[in-house]
Chain A
Amino acid sequence: MRESEAKVLKTIQELRGKTSATDIAKKSGLADSSVARAILTLSNQGLINEVIVKRTELRPTEEGMICVERGLPERRVVEQIKLGAPVSIAAAVKNAGLGPEYVPIVTGWLSRKKWGTLEKKDGIVQVRVDDKPAKDPDEHLLEKVGSGSVVLEELPDNLQASAERLLRRNILEAKPRNDHVVEITQLGVQAIPTLDTLGEVSSLTGDMITSGEWAHVRLRNYNVSSQVPPIRPGKYHPYLRFLRMVRRKLVALGFQEAVGPLVEPTFVNCDCLYMPQDHPAREIHDLYYVKDPSSMSLAQWGKTVDRVARTHENGWRTGSTGWGYKFSREEASKLILRSHGTALSVRTMLSKNLRVPGKYFAIARCFRPEYLDRTHLIEFNQVEGIVLDEKLNLRNLLGVLEMFAKEVADADRVRFKPDYFPFTEPSVELQAYKSGFGWIEFGGSGIFRPEVTEPLGVRVPVLAWGLGIDRLYMMHKGIQDIRQIFTTDLEWIREQKVE
Chain B
Amino acid sequence: MNVEVKDSNHPDIWSVEGVARALRGFLGEASRKKLTLAGPSKLDVIVDKRLKNIRPYIACAVVTNLHPSEDALKSWIGLQDKMDQTYGRKRKRSSIGFYQADLVASPIRYTVSKPDAAFFIPLGSTRKMSLREILKEHEKGREYGPIISSFDEWPLLVDGRDQILSLPPVINSNDLGRVTTQTKNVLVEVTGTSLETVHNTLKIVVTCLSERGGSVHTCVQNYQYGPSRRMVTPDLKPIERTMSLSYANKTLGTSLSSKATSVYLKKAGYAVSRIAGDTIKVLVPCYRLDIMHQIDIVEDIGIAMDLNKLTPEWPEVWTPGGLDPTTDRFEALAEVMVGLGYQEILNYTLTDRARLEEKTRTKPASLVELKNPKVTIYTVLRNWLLPSILEFLSNNTHVDYPQKVFEVGACELREKDSESPVTTRTKLTAATVHASAGFTEIRAALDALLSSAGIDFSVEPAKHPTFLDGRFGQVVSNGKNVGFLGEVHPEVIRSWGLGLPVAAFELDLLAAL
Residue positions of A touching B, CB distance < 8 A: 22, 25, 31-32, 57, 59, 65-66, 69, 88, 91, 122, 149, 175, 177-178, 230, 232-237, 239-240, 244, 247, 250-263, 278, 280, 284, 288-294, 296-297, 299-300, 315, 318-325, 335, 337, 355, 357-359, 365, 367, 369-372, 378-379, 387-389, 392-396, 398-403, 414-420, 422, 425-428, 447, 449-451, 461, 463, 485-486, 488-491, 493-494
Contacts and interface: CB of A to CB of B under 8 A. Distances in A.
A371 B322 contact: no
A178 B298 CA distance: 64
23 contacts: A178-B398, A236-B344, A237-B345, A254-B317, A256-B320, A257-B322, A280-B85, A280-B86, A288-B373, A293-B414, A297-B418, A358-B319, A359-B317, A365-B410, A393-B251, A395-B312, A395-B313, A426-B298, A426-B299, A463-B315, A485-B346, A486-B346, A488-B395
B98 to A, nearest CB: 18
Contact of B252 (A233, A355, A395): A395
B322 to A, nearest CB: 5
Interface in B288-322: 292-296, 298-299, 302-303, 307-308, 310-315, 317-322
Interface string B20-32: 0000000000000
Contacts of A66: 375-377
Nearest to B422: A263
Interface string B334-373: 1001111111111111100000000000000001111111
Contact of B400 (A232, A358, A392): A232
A396 B302 CA distance: 13
Nearest to B92: A278
A250 B322 CA distance: 9
Contacts of A387: 315, 317
A251 B401 CA distance: 38
A323 B194 CA distance: 12
Contacts of A415: 308
B78 interface: no
| Residue of A258, A299, A394 ringed by the most chain B CB atoms within 10 A | A394
A271 B299 CA distance: 22
Contacts of B368: 263, 290, 292-293
A57 B339 CA distance: 33
Contact of B338 (A65, A236, A355): A236
Contact of A427 (B85, B299, B398, B414): B299
Nearest to B93: A278
B321 A263 contact: no
A123 to B, nearest CB: 10
Interface of B: 4, 6-10, 85-86, 89, 93, 124, 139, 194, 196, 250-254, 292-296, 298-299, 302-303, 307-308, 310-315, 317-324, 326-327, 331, 334, 337-350, 367-378, 381, 391-392, 395-396, 398-405, 410, 412, 414, 418-424, 434-436, 497
B238 to A, nearest CB: 15
B398 A461 contact: no
B145 to A, nearest CB: 14
Nearest to B297: A425
| Residue of A253, A291, A323, A387 ringed by the most chain B CB atoms within 10 A | A291
The 8 closest A-B pairs by CB, nearest first: A393-B253, A395-B253, A398-B312, A420-B8, A291-B371, A426-B299, A251-B321, A396-B315
A335 to B, nearest CB: 7
B303 A418 contact: yes
Contact of B319 (A31, A256, A449, A494): A256
A309 B184 CA distance: 47
Given A236-B338, A289-B371, A387-B317, A394 B253 contact: yes
A447 B435 contact: no
A398 B374 CA distance: 38
A417 B435 contact: no
Contacts of B319: 254-256, 355, 357-359
A399 B312 contact: yes
A490 B327 contact: no
A25 B293 CA distance: 76
B341 A232 contact: yes
Nearest to B7: A420
Contact of B341 (A233, A370, A371): A233
Nearest to B296: A425
Contacts of A57: 398
A253 B372 CA distance: 40
Contact of A449 (B295, B347, B435): B295
Nearest to B331: A244
Nearest to B321: A251
A143 to B, nearest CB: 17
B331 to A, nearest CB: 8
Given A235-B343, A257-B323, 14 more contacts: A32-B436, A57-B398, A232-B400, A251-B323, A254-B318, A263-B368, A280-B86, A291-B370, A296-B418, A379-B350, A387-B317, A392-B315, A396-B253, A488-B391
Contact of A257 (B10, B327, B334): B327
Given A256-B321, A447-B251, A232 B326 contact: no
Contacts of A292: 367-369
Nearest to B8: A420
Contacts of B315: 387, 389, 392, 396, 399-400, 463
Nearest to A403: B314
A253 B321 contact: yes
Contacts of B401: 32
Contacts of A402: 312, 314
A203 B91 CA distance: 84
Contacts of A293: 368, 414, 421-422
Contact of B347 (A230, A251, A461, A486): A486
Nearest to A298: B419
A470 to B, nearest CB: 13
A401 B308 CA distance: 12
A274 to B, nearest CB: 9
Contacts of A69: 376
Contact of A252 (B10, B314, B321, B327): B321
Contact of A378 (B303, B310, B374, B400): B374
Given A425-B296, A488-B395, A234 B342 contact: yes
Contact of A299 (B10, B311, B419): B419
Contacts of A263: 368, 381, 412, 422, 424
Contact of B349 (A59, A291, A365, A416): A365
A252 B319 CA distance: 10
A240 to B, nearest CB: 6
